[in-house]
Amino acid sequence: METFTKTKKHHAICLPLPLQSHINAMLKLAKLLHFKGFHITFVNTEFNHQRLLNAVGSKSLEGLPDFRFKTIPDGLPSSDINTTQDILALLESISKNCLVPLINLISKLNEESDDPRVSCIVADCTTSFALNASEKLGIPGVIFLPVSPCVMASYLHCQVLIDKGLIPPIDKRTPANWYPDMPITVIPGVRDIRVKDLSSSFGDENDFVHNFSFRAIHESSKASAIIMHTFDALESEVLNAIQPLLPPIYTIGPLQLLEQNIPNTHQLTSLRSNLLEEDQKCFEWLDMKAPNSVVYVNFGSTTVLTKQQLIEFAWGLVNCKHPFLWVIRPDIVIGETAILPPEFTEEIADKGMISGWCPQEQVLGHSSIGAFLTHSGWNSTLDTICSGVPIISWPFAGDQPINSRYSCFHWGIGMEMDKDVKREKVEGLVRELMESDKGKRMKEKAMEWKKSAHESTKAGGSSYANLDKVIKEVLA
């Protein structure tokens, strides 16, 4: 591929869902395609492009002659560039308003540019309107699934769950024998999850999030292929179960590790995608800590806490007596600025560090990190697997409860915390993970999964091979 001349290069449009974790994953995939010889146009919303400019600077978005950043409007009114957009409003708007701007952008690229004609679209599964664009243009449309395939399997079998009474219709009285911990055993390939591990909106036909997700998953069947951000050894059962139901599936992950196959000297390494400015000072602090001694705390880019939850986490971390690095976004508390009590600030002077945002992959790879208190978003789950760090999981919403269940119950790499946050529980779980024999066994399991993830992304590994296969069989 890399010997192609400019006129023969294939040109991929890469379209992420305009949320931080989805942009991160898609950019990694786009870099890999570029490294394999593709011309790339990476499409952000105008709002997020401006946020990226503010966070990483214009130099990081200048791109390369054959890797360019373009924008389309998201259809929402103007809002504060320093805050996260309302997710529900954003999802509804892009599903209604982004198809025409995307087609217009591609037409403009084909008509007015000296670049190769657009030859394929790689779109986040939640931007399935892009499949309409690929069909209209007569080019392959590939869906990228940046979440666990267990989530896709759940939505593919939604009606079965309703028919079995596991998901009671929202307008009917809950059956007497129903309870949140009720096991779900009717989704092929998905083991030992509970009703409460599904999204809170799952099965509610009156709920926008359910309808949006259900439609996105089922419209994936129209794609030329589906790229899944996982690796075969991690989720073989569910992958085998859903393959007959879908277009060709290519497991290409963890992208965090595949990206490391791109030499550090390559120009792609300068391209970044954080919507929040990263704090590099945390590494000076981590360098002073003993190996495996620090608890890293990060609940992702969209999770929100109540003020009381923030305080309970704070005192639990102080009382555990282990050093901690805690990422607290400015908008992490619902409806107000995240302000910790003055006495807490005094207590952590020598044992804790607060950061607004930090480069998570590098932090988890630091030798001082011994545990990760996480919301169990899929990117964070793969980050911790890649680094061999055990977790304390506090899932918030969406796919996070399923990720948490698999991490703690199936993969054996962590412990789950109740939604009702209490400082005593936070302290106890941290101590148990960092100090007990049970915690040591979880560290050992985390290191085993790290080895497996690395093997999948090396030459001869399943994900390494699948990247070449999807290019040869679908995209090229």
Residues marked as catalytic: 22, 124
Of 311, 450, 281, 324, nearest to 382 (Cα)? 450
Of 161, 232, 235, nearest to 195 (Cα)? 161
The radius of gyration of the chain's CA atoms, rounded to the nearest angstrom, is 22
Q: From the centroid of its chain, how far is CA 446?
A: 19
Please state, in angstroms and rounded to a whole number, the distance separating the CA atoms of residues 376 and 300: 9
State the angle between helix axes of 208-219 and 87-97 in degrees (0 to 180), rounded to the nearest 10. Answer: 40
Please state, in angstroms and rounded to a whole number, the distance separating the CA atoms of residues 427 and 41: 47
DSSP string, 370-404: EEEEE---HHHHHHHHHHT--EEE---STTHHHHH
The b-or-e profile of 200-211 (16+ CB within 10 A means b, else e) is ebbbbeebebbe
Write out the two tokens for 135.
């069909």
Dihedral angle, C-alpha 308, 312, 313, 317, nearest 10 °: 150
Is-cis flag, bond preceding 254, omega within 30?
yes
Report the SS3 class of residue 41. Answer: strand
- In 106-228, the DSSP E strands lie at 118-124, 141-145, 183-184, 193-194, 225-228
Q: Are 122 and 224 within 8 A, CB to CB?
A: no
Please state, in angstroms and rounded to a whole number, the distance separating the CA atoms of residues 105 and 50: 18
Strand 369-374 with 391-393, pairing: parallel
DSSP string, 138-172: TS-EEEEE-S-HHHHHHHHTHHHHHHTTSS--TTS
Dihedral angle, C-alpha 6, 9, 10, 11, nearest 10 °: -20
Of 233, 180, 225, 172, nearest to 454 (Cα)? 233
- Phi/psi region, residue 169 (left: phi>0; alpha: psi -120 to 50; beta: rest), is beta
